[in-house]
Amino acid sequence: MARKTSLSGFPEWLPEERLVELHVLDVLRETFELHGFSSIETRAVETVGHLLRKGEIDKEVYAVSRLQEDEDAGSPKGEDQLALHFDLTVPFARYVVENSGYLTFPFRRYQMQKVWRGERPQEGRAREFTQADIDVVGDGTLPFRYDVELALVMIDALSRLPIPPFTLRINNRKLAEGFYRGIGLTDADGVLRNIDKLEKIGPEKVAEALREELGATAEQAAAALELASIRTDDTSFVEQVRALGVTDELLDEGLAELAEVVGEASRRAPGKVVADLSIARGLDYYTGTVYETVLVGHEHLGSICSGGRYESLASTGKKTYPGVGLSVGVTRLVTRMLSQGMAVPSRKVPTSVLVSLVDEESWSQAQDVAGQLRARGVSCEVSATAAKFGKQIKYAERRGIPFVWFTTRGEDGALAHEVKDIRSGEQVPADPAAWAPPAEDLRPVVRAVAAVGA
């Protein structure tokens, strides 16, 4: 069970909880690498000017400064001031521009790092959290097929995790913007920002905001909401949009792109993809396909994985590097996994064997045994004191260590080794140069719990 920490919004895990988080990160990393993505890491800070180029999130950005500023040192101010990054896409765009001469395009990268946002803490929203991103970026152009591939890669990755069924919901901002333009709403970004609040505040308040903030008529607001109500698990959304009677070239382009993504993804991953025309994504840098992912039965948690296509986020002014990417909210996902008991580790610690001490003089000898075990990949630790064997076994039980190693010396001076499975009580002779635990006990294993509460 995830715990509350003394500093709200900055989660910390117990060792057994951290094992679940590490399992999620390992699965994502392994899957991303199977699909040919390379790992990078960017710095934690960017300039304020760079971070605020796209998206309305200035109230959420944490600025960075020294406690005692040196006025003579000319500390950066304004757009040059340093701030912690709020996502991994904006820093990645800067990384691509600065390193373009050393990268091979299309460039495929994954990135797993902490990010920071000054949000109001609640379940699923933290101020410090971990994201795991994948992106493909092109030099000048990027084939649209990557919009399809990214969806399939992420479906593969999430399907390997011990979580409930999930749905990848996909839309296209060209489709939405073209539709709004076709009904006479020129502030497409403003409409999208309000549609993005649909699940939080409901259609009536969204319609009210469209009328009051953007000057939409009742008919225009109703049409925007009707578009947002369309959801299909195949390409039949195209006919439903056409039936609304709106025409626009950008709408046509968005419909064709979304049909390609949903058609191919639903064929390869049936039951996992939905065309959801309410998906908008709040950040302004998205220009085409947009994605959100929800756990079935846990929709109120919000999206656990989201992203989209961006054409000009990475740009030198003369050259652009269009990309498409998806980001897993690892901390949001792990918090729900822990709070709902979706997955549990087979033990609390990596240690497989506790090497016991017969007496205080046997510590060096016990270290020799531990060294032989570790050389073959068996995690172990040596008992700190030569307490009674019963107490040493109790210590192993409290730590969740499955095996205890005993070494004794016979009358002839020969060493005798035995290992005990403290779960079953079975104790057998063992050779430190050859013995290994069963494969399932070599390291902690994170397993899904059969019944998951919503």
CATH code of the domain covering residue 70: 3.30.930.10
Average pLDDT over residues 64-82: 74
**R_g of the chain, CA atoms, integer Å:** 27
Contact 420, 406 (CB under 8 A): yes
| Structural domain includes residue 181 | yes
Tell me, yes or no, whether 337 and 357 share the same domain: no
Distance separating alpha carbons of residues 141 and 421, to the nearest angstrom: 60
Q: Is 285 annotated as a binding residue?
A: yes
Which pLDDT value is given to residue 452? Answer: 46
Average pLDDT over residues 318-331: 95
Q: Is 135 annotated as a binding residue?
A: yes
| Structural domain includes residue 432 | yes
Residue 239 CB-density burial (10 A; 0-12 exposed, 13-18 middle, 19+ buried): exposed
Average pLDDT over residues 372-382: 97
Tell me, yes or no, whether 265 and 362 share the same domain: no
Q: Is 412 annotated as a binding residue?
A: no
Place of tokens 């947009």: 290
Tell me, yes or no, whether 316 and 364 share the same domain: no
Tell me, yes or no, whether 243 and 381 share the same domain: no
| Structural domain includes residue 9 | no
Distance separating alpha carbons of residues 274 and 234, to the nearest angstrom: 7
Q: Is 141 annotated as a binding residue?
A: no
Q: Which domain holds residue 385?
A: 353-447
Residues 6+ apart with CB under 8 A from 398: none
| Structural domain includes residue 454 | no
Average pLDDT over the chain, rounded to whole?
92
**pTM across the whole model:** 0.91
Given 320, 345, 370, which residue is the final one in a domain?
345
Confidence band, pLDDT 50/70/90 cuts, at residue 454:
very low
Tell me, yes or no, whether 37 and 158 share the same domain: yes
Residues 6+ apart with CB under 8 A from 102: none
Q: Which residue has the higher pLDDT, 397 or 2?
A: 397
Question: In the chain, how many domains are there?
Answer: 2
Hey, what amino acid is at 446?
V
Distance separating alpha carbons of residues 54 and 231, to the nearest angstrom: 28
Tell me, yes or no, whether 382 and 303 share the same domain: no
Given 310, 345, 380, which residue is the final one in a domain?
345
Tell me, yes or no, whether 213 and 360 share the same domain: no
Distance separating alpha carbons of residues 321 and 259, to the nearest angstrom: 24
Q: Is 286 annotated as a binding residue?
A: yes
Tell me, yes or no, whether 268 and 400 share the same domain: no
Q: Is 70 annotated as a binding residue?
A: no
Distance separating alpha carbons of residues 358 and 408, to the nearest angstrom: 7
Contact 304, 337 (CB under 8 A): no
Which pLDDT value is given to residue 52? Answer: 80
Q: Is 284 annotated as a binding residue?
A: no
Q: Is 321 annotated as a binding residue?
A: no
| Structural domain includes residue 316 | yes
Tell me, yes or no, whether 333 and 358 share the same domain: no
Given 326, 345, 364, which residue is the final one in a domain?
345
| Structural domain includes residue 8 | no
Distance separating alpha carbons of residues 351 and 296, to the nearest angstrom: 35
Phi then psi for 28, rounded to 5 degrees? Answer: -65, -45
| Structural domain includes residue 453 | no
Q: Is 240 annotated as a binding residue?
A: no
